[in-house]
Amino acid sequence: MLNSSHIQNKIMKGPGLRRIMTSAPSNKERINQLYLAVLSRPPTPQEQKIAIDYMNAASMNAGFYDLAWTLINTREFILRH
């Protein structure tokens, strides 16, 4: 999955992630909703801090979609889905 352009297109164009991106008022809320959507759990405090730091350093759109890509490629996601 790491190199799948098909999965990348689903992430970039999918209505679920687009809805999170446009409806959540803050990066913290976007991260919470993204974790719930992808991993079915909220982020730990450490995961949330790392994600917020990354999203603040990157452009908002790129940081959000990078985080989604990262979560989809975690062992936790792969073993559950």
Tens of pLDDT along the chain (81 residues) come to 556 777 777 777 888 888 998 888 888 999 999 999 999 999 999 999 999 999 888 876 888 888 998 898 888 988 876
- Both structure tokens of 61: 């759109």
Instruction: Residue 19: give the domain boundaries.
Output: 5-80
DSSP result, 56-74: HHS-HHHHHHHHHHHHHTS
Helix (H, G, I), strand (E, B) or coil at 73: coil
- Both structure tokens of 36: 């719930």
- Both structure tokens of 32: 């919470």
Instruction: Name residue 70's amino acid.
Output: T
Total of domains in the chain = 1
